[in-house]
Amino acid sequence: MGSAPTLQAAIPSVDRVLAQCAPLIALHGRERVLAAVRSELAALRSRLGEGSGDALAEAGIERIVARLGERLESEGAASLKPVFNLTGTLLHTNLGRALLPEEAVLALSVAAAHAVNLEFDLDAGRRGDRDQHLERLLEELTGAGRSTVVNNNAAAVLLALNTLAQKREVIVSRGELIEIGGEFRMPEIMKRAGCKLVEVGTTNRTHLRDYAEAIGPRTALIMKVHPSNYALVGFCESVEERALVPLARERGLPVLSDLGAGALVDLRRWDLPYEPTVQSMIACGVDLVTFSGDKLLGGPQAGLIAGKAELIARIKRNPLKRALRIDKLRIAALEAMLRLYRDPERLPQRLPVLRYMIRALSDIEAQAKRLADTVQSALAEWATVEALACESEAGSGSMPSDRLPSFGLAIKPRRRSPALQSVAAAFRSLPVPVIGRIHAGALVLDLRTLEDEQRFLDQLPMLGIGQKATSGRKAP
């Protein structure tokens, strides 16, 4: 081993490294390459200072340039990118929920690239209203008198509560004070909307008389919340909207129903579990219904509010509406998606969410059996791969207690091979990261949503288990 000064001398100068970087400069620009060279050399210097032996081996110019190339490429890669969602959760909030139908993708990209009549009345030649593009469709599909759209359903609920019940009381059943992932807790939203929450009933049972007894001079609203991500089973009772409406009418109060998922077609038509539809709520006299654009509806993130014209008009005048509004891209996508609902017959071919939900089990099973061997050979020494039955779920608080029988690949590390977490990490570091779920000692890839099979297979040879796994990118 030489003395420290000679070791330091082994590190090339910035200029010598830069001289070898012409291709990188052409690709990434001189400024970024120079900054990367400096920080790379500084890191080497400090590792040599600490006496790290292998730092010397890494000080060769060729090695340095190769590392710079990798570093610049990974820094330059897009952060938001496509992944394979094989988690079995069809509407996965962390993976962006619903995939848009082609028609919506097209409408969105046209709107992105052009000036549009977003808030412009083409007939009158003056300022218009951005809700105009969706209103007619929503009214036709839901039977509501009027509608409006905001950023997401959390915003829809906040806006409706703030408009109708600020500084007043809102009656909600104790069994419906839900928390949905990511800090959306109904009592918290109430507080932020400036309303006083009046809880009625008990966790498992609420009766009509509980609502009746809670109504007082400060009551502004009766609210129903669809228990999206859990189900009450056993000794339980709740009051349905159709039973609440007559009581509310009698006392001159509006009823707000936060549906969450909010289907626009009866899913039983395709032998799927029942999910209350927006039109059924409107038909039984509910005054306002709030629902998400990117859950069962199958569109972009949005919060839709449909209901009585006079209440919607008040909501639209609330200054918060301006802060919560959506942009032209999502209005374009929503319009194109809602249009598809005019022809429910063909929805399964056009809406990815529905297509996944009704995909035949035999089809998924055949795919799992077809892929098992290929995936097994890609993982030869590390893991065993087996086709097996599993269950998918709609996710994002849609159809909480219903599972869809599915088929997937169960990948189990062999003894002495990298741990399960490394196998999962290796799948996540593929060019199109593959996201599965860990279940019973295996990485399970639910194939219900695997459509681009070729792309999935093509990247399997790049699975560097044990090597790249540790440097695998952070899970999304």
Ligand X SMILES: *Cc1c(COP(=O)(O)O)cnc(C)c1O
Which residues bind to ligand X, rule: CB under 6 A? Answer: 152-154, 157, 180, 184, 225-226, 228, 258, 260-261, 292, 303, 396-397
Minimum distance between the CB of residue 134 and ligand X, rounded to whole angstroms?
Answer: 16
- Measured from the Cβ of residue 292, the count of other Cβ atoms closer than 10 Å reads 28
- The set of residues, in sequence order, having a beta carbon less than 8 Å from that of 148 and lying 6+ positions away, is 131, 135, 304, 305, 312, 315, 316, 321
Minimum distance between the CB of residue 159 and ligand X, rounded to whole angstroms?
Answer: 12
Cα(465)–Cα(422) distance, integer angstroms: 7
Measured from the CB atom, is 135 or 258 closer to ligand X?
258
Helices (H), 29-101: 30-49, 54-57, 61-76
Q: Which pair of structure tokens corresponds to residue 391?
A: 């269950």
Cα(188)–Cα(453) distance, integer angstroms: 44
Minimum distance between the CB of residue 227 and ligand X, rounded to whole angstroms?
Answer: 8
Minimum distance between the CB of residue 158 and ligand X, rounded to whole angstroms?
Answer: 9
Measured from the CB atom, is 305 or 443 closer to ligand X?
305
Measured from the CB atom, is 65 or 104 closer to ligand X?
104
Minimum distance between the CB of residue 152 and ligand X, rounded to whole angstroms?
Answer: 3
Residue 84 has phi, psi (to 5 degrees) of -90, 115
Helix (H, G, I), strand (E, B) or coil at 312: helix
**Beta-bridge partner residues of 412:** 384
Measured from the CB atom, is 160 or 375 closer to ligand X?
160
Instruction: Compute the C-alpha angle 342/344/346, nearest 5°.
Output: 110
Q: Is the CB of residue 14 less than 8 Å from the CB of residue 41?
A: yes
Q: Is the CB of residue 383 less than 8 Å from the CB of residue 423?
A: yes
Q: Is the CB of residue 220 less than 8 Å from the CB of residue 164?
A: yes
Minimum distance between the CB of residue 208 and ligand X, rounded to whole angstroms?
Answer: 21
Measured from the CB atom, is 260 or 413 closer to ligand X?
260
Minimum distance between the CB of residue 175 and ligand X, rounded to whole angstroms?
Answer: 13
Closest-CA residue to 151 (of 289, 294, 279): 294
Q: Which pair of structure tokens corresponds to residue 86?
A: 């094989």
Minimum distance between the CB of residue 462 and ligand X, rounded to whole angstroms?
Answer: 35
Minimum distance between the CB of residue 189 and ligand X, rounded to whole angstroms?
Answer: 8
Q: Is the CB of residue 241 less than 8 Å from the CB of residue 257?
A: yes
- Measured from the Cβ of residue 66, the count of other Cβ atoms closer than 10 Å reads 12
Strands 404-413 and 442-446 come out as antiparallel
Cα(398)–Cα(74) distance, integer angstroms: 36
Q: Is the CB of residue 118 less than 8 Å from the CB of residue 130?
A: yes
Measured from the CB atom, is 154 or 442 closer to ligand X?
154
Minimum distance between the CB of residue 310 and ligand X, rounded to whole angstroms?
Answer: 24
Measured from the CB atom, is 303 or 408 closer to ligand X?
303
**Beta-bridge partner residues of 406:** 390
Cα(134)–Cα(163) distance, integer angstroms: 21
Instruction: Compute the C-alpha angle 281/163/341, nearest 5°.
Output: 35
Strands 404-413 and 383-392 come out as antiparallel
Measured from the CB atom, is 36 or 304 closer to ligand X?
304
Minimum distance between the CB of residue 206 and ligand X, rounded to whole angstroms?
Answer: 16
Cα(90)–Cα(111) distance, integer angstroms: 27
Which residue sits closest to ligand X, CB atoms considered? 260
Measured from the CB atom, is 101 or 397 closer to ligand X?
397
Please give the span between the terminal C-alpha atoms of the chain, in angstroms, as a whole number.
44
Measured from the CB atom, is 201 or 227 closer to ligand X?
227
Measured from the CB atom, is 154 or 450 closer to ligand X?
154
Which contiguous run of DSSP H or E holds residue 179? strand 179-180
Minimum distance between the CB of residue 61 and ligand X, rounded to whole angstroms?
Answer: 52
Q: Is 291 exposed, middle or buried (0-12, 13-18, 19+ CB in 10 A)?
A: buried
Q: Is the CB of residue 398 less than 8 Å from the CB of residue 275?
A: yes
Measured from the CB atom, is 300 or 418 closer to ligand X?
300
